[in-house]
Structure formats: C-alpha cells, structure tokens
A and B are shown apart, each in its own frame.
Chain A
C-alpha cells in the first residue's frame, strides 16, 4: 500500500482551492485587477491633474516686448497681450486669481541693453527679465517653463561660442544616442521587473501556504491525514507542488496587472515601451527561474507555517522573511542592472533568481548561470521539502498546543 500519494494531495489541494470561487477571486483575479485599476486610473488621474491641457492657449502679458524675441513669443502658441500701458499690480492679481497665466516684464530697451552688456565688467548688472506666474495653476506653471526655456536658449544663441550636437545639414540624419531601443527597454525592465516579480510571487505564496498548512494544523484536519499510512514526504511534496502552482498563478496575476498598466506606470512619454524585445527562449528561461523560485518560497513559508500554531501566527512569522526577500529583490536596482557574473553568486537561493532575471531582462546573461540558478533552487526546495516532511513527523510540532 506504499503508493504514491503526491498526486492525491495535489488533487485535493486543487479541489479545495478551485472549488472555492471566493478564494479563486481574491487570490488570483483580484490582485492583478486591483493593480491594473489602481495604476491605470489612479496614475492616469494624477497625471491629468498635473499635466496642462495641450490645446490650452495661455494668456500672457508682456511689457516692453523687445523686437528680437517677439517672433519667438508668437511661436509659442500663446495669447500675447501688450501690457505697456497696463498696471502691473492688476495683472499680478489676475495671475493670482488664475485668470491670466503669465506676466513677462522686460527692461526698457532690452535689446540695446543686452548688446551693450559686457560680461567681464563686474560693475555692470545684466539686464533682468521678470516673469510672474502662479505655480498652483498648471497652465501658468507650464507657460512659465516655456517662456523661461525660450529666453534661456535665446541667451545661449546670442553668446554662442560653440554648439553640441547642433542640427545642421550634415548631422540631420546622425544618431548621437547610440543605445538601441532594446538596450533602453532592457535597462528599465531589468531594474524593475525582478524586484516586482519576486514581491508578487512572495505575496502569492503568503496568500496560500499559511492557510493550507497552519490552517489544517489549527483545524485538526492534518492529524486526520497523519493517521493514514501516507508517507510524510508525499504529503510535503504534494502540498509544496500544489501550493506553488496556486501561488504562481496568483503572483503572475499581479504581474500581469503591472505589465498591462506599465505604460501608464512609467509614463507614456517613453515611446515604444514594449515587452516584444524579448524572445520566446528569454521568456522560457524567465519562467524556469520563476517556477524554481516559487518552489523555494513556498517550501520556506510552508516550514514557517508548519512551525506556527495558528494561521495568524504564521502570517506574522513570515513577515521578517518578506523583508529579507524584498531586500534581495532590491539588488536588481543596484549596480545599474548589471548582473553578477561569478558563478558562486548563483549558488545563493533567491539572490540567484534576481541576478539571473536581471541578466535575462538586460540581454546580458550566461546560460550556465541561469541553469545553475534553476538547479540550485530546485535542490534547496527539495531539501526544504525534506525538512517539512520531518516536521510533519514530529509530534512536538504537529500536536503542540
């Protein structure tokens, strides 16, 4: 009767999980949906609040408009009014009331003052342009930025000694930033995704393992299993395999939520943001790493859950581990997305996953290191399963009250 009961346990765990619609919704669908909704609508909403309306024409008053900059002002697409005969204070209060966006006051004879100004003469003050705006008014703040940039670049052109990457006929088709789109995307993905994946996988594991192990212990249902002739290691393996699968789906649900809302998350200014830069084999390697990582995380949380007397105790006990995992995840953001190259780093579980994922996302990995990562993680998970089986066999742990 020494049959293999791993599959029986896996089937029961799946029946328990997938048979409970509420559990499926809260563990699998809700995390991804919530992240997508929050990132898309909230960040979108926040951006709308802080971004000026592109079609809006700012109302700008200019006093003593110099001839030299007048064409540039006209090119800004703003409603420019002459304020030569208007009281400055009244315009300021209009800006304060958000009825007018900007007031620009040039000194009289600005052009000649600029022409006569000698930088080397320390006794002389440079002509001073005054710009009044209202930072609480997005349109005003925006207009201020445009006018300031325009005047700064005008200042640069009149004191020009040399240019950098200037647009000329020869350089019209020249590309100065030699990073490919892929490199750029790779850098973004490799610093963010390993951390996010790890956190979401850990949350997925936290959502299922304490309930399934401490929960069964707390409710006394695990004793019913332990009195059967089933091998304890089959119970441990069955639990770890089924819980890993459920945690994986839960973690990937959150991850999908992030990927779908990524353009909104990073900012739509980055054009061509796409995960199409990776090949199928890249994705397969990532999947292998994710799978082996989930096995480790689930087996670790299962051990903690088996030790805990109640689900509540287990969820408290797994928090310190979460902090450690988060710190390890953060290493993907350190070092400019460059993964470790030395093989010995890939013998450290979880850290190796982060490094291997960073490598794959930044197109800078060795197949050996990725392979080692997966194998090492599986060996650790196997060792942890053995510990869990031993714990199932220990009356002190399983029946302590």
Chain B
C-alpha cells in the first residue's frame, strides 16, 4: 500500500503558565504534548488516532496540518515535508477542527466562494463543487443565512463543506462528531465512508470507540503523547471489543492505575 502520510519522531513541548502549572499540579515549566510520535497512513484508508482527552491527538494533527511546527521530527504528507514545504502540504490537505471557526458575519455561500478563491479554484469548478456539497449536506436551505444564526450542527456541515473546497486527496478531521446531535453525527460519519469510497485518504482523531470501529481501517492509540499501538483495526482489537482492548493497553501502560 502506498503511504500518504508518514510521521517520524514528532515531538512538541508547550510552556506552561503558572496557572496551568497549578492546574496540572506540577512544578515543571514545560509539558511534552507529543513525544517521539511515528506512524504511517495509507492511501485510500481511514486512519484513526484514538486516545483520551489531552493525549496529544489534536497537537499531532495541528503539526501535520502545519498550523504549528514540531520541536523535532517531521511528517511527509503526499511527499512534502511539513517543516520544509508547509505551503505545498496546505494545498493538499483539508482540515476540519473545532479550532477553525468561520466568520459569523458571512453566509455559507460567500465563505465557500471566498475559500475557493484563496485556493485558486476557477468559478465553474467552484460552483459545481458547491452545488454537490451543499446539496449533500442540505446547506442550500441556509446558504444565505449568516453563520452567526446557524446551529452547531449547521456550522459543522458548513465547515466540512468549506474544508473540501479544493477537493483535497488527504482529509484530516479532528473530533469530527464532537458536540453534534446523532443525526448530524451520522451525516458526518456516512460522509467519511463516502470520501474513502471516492479514493480519498482520511485521518481522524477521536476518543469515541464506536466511531473508530465503524469507519477506521487502521488505528493508532495515543496515550500521554506516545503512540502505544498502531495496526489494523482487527489486529488492535485482537478478538475483543475496541473499548476492552483500549483499557487493556491503558492498564498495561499505567500499571493498572488510572492516574
């Protein structure tokens, strides 16, 4: 299988403010969010990064999408380095995360056109894509309503459509169903599978076992910034449910102590 994303020894350390130090009950001024993380994702598969809150999933995805730079290590996205060629990486990926917000003042229609222009999409292609995506997610009904007046689910659908304006081959979703009602969550999950069927490569981070079991081909388990297991879903599960296996791995690592 062809590797579409190869992460090699990614490391990211954050400086803690005094307030954060108190919250985390530590005297250490820095926190290693991602520690020597390596994994590969293959073309045409859905790769899931599974881990509890604060494990380093989002930080990993922020590095891979070039929003932040790793302290050391690198990742090669479709043969471009995130550190040496961030611009080329950005051209090739679509990124959906709650951190990326849409301007309240504008309508989904305007924002789709605006981002298409930023990616240099010609108007004919843009309109065709917009028509497809808007009808797929039912955005047409609120295409001219300002983002400020949309519900969380509607906003997520618009964000999803906008992350795909340039029809990227690699799509990275950070907790894509977080905060969504069951119907919208299902729309998103179904679309992930559709994207894979279209031959796209998808990397998603989540802490929801059922989502991983439903859509992922391969899984990487991250705990405390380290990749503790990475294999196909079946191999990871090893005959058990994913949830049971996750807790096995977690106990092995933490010696049976939760904290």
Contact = CB atoms under 8 A, between A and B. Distances in A.
Nearest to B147: A221
Interface in A380-401: 395, 399
B99 A226 contact: no
B105 A19 contact: yes
Contact of A221 (B66, B102, B118, B119): B102
A219 interface: yes
A344 interface: no
A224 B90 contact: no
B246 to A, nearest CB: 29
A184 to B, nearest CB: 49
B119 A229 contact: yes
B110 to A, nearest CB: 7
A3 B103 contact: no
A225 interface: yes
B87 A227 contact: no
A219 to B, nearest CB: 6
A229 B69 CA distance: 15
A219 B105 contact: no
Interface in B46-74: 65-69
A16 B102 CA distance: 13
Contact of B101 (A8, A224, A228, A399): A224
B95 interface: yes
B73 to A, nearest CB: 16
Interface in A222-274: 223-231
Contacts of A1: 91, 119-120
A259 B95 CA distance: 52
B67 A5 contact: no
A3 B121 CA distance: 10
Q: Chain B interface mostly helix, strand, loop or mixed?
A: loop
Contact of B119 (A223, A226, A228, A395): A228
Contacts of A399: 67-68
B104 A219 contact: yes
Contacts, number: 61
A15 interface: yes
A16 B120 CA distance: 21
Nearest to A8: B117
A20 interface: yes
Given A15-B110, A228-B115, A223 B103 contact: no
B105 A20 contact: yes
Q: Size class of A's contact patch? A: 20 to 34
B100 interface: yes
Given A1-B120, A223-B99, A16 B90 contact: no
Nearest to B172: A227
B90 A228 contact: yes
Contacts of B103: 16, 216, 219, 221
A339 B158 CA distance: 57
B114 interface: yes
Contacts of B100: 220, 223-224, 227
A79 B103 CA distance: 74
Nearest to A219: B101
Nearest to A232: B87
Nearest to A4: B120
B191 interface: no
Contact of B114 (A8, A20, A226, A229): A8
B95 A5 contact: no
A223 B67 contact: yes
B106 interface: yes
A20 to B, nearest CB: 7
Given A16-B103, A224-B101, A227-B65, 8 more contacts: A1-B119, A1-B120, A2-B87, A219-B104, A228-B118, A229-B119, A395-B67, A399-B67
21 contacts: A1-B91, A1-B119, A2-B87, A5-B118, A8-B114, A8-B118, A15-B106, A16-B103, A16-B105, A216-B103, A219-B101, A219-B103, A221-B101, A221-B102, A221-B103, A223-B101, A224-B162, A227-B66, A227-B95, A228-B119, A395-B69
Interface of B: 65-69, 87-88, 90-91, 95, 99-106, 110, 114-115, 117-120, 162
The 7 closest A-B pairs by CB, nearest first: A220-B101, A229-B90, A224-B100, A395-B68, A229-B91, A3-B120, A8-B117
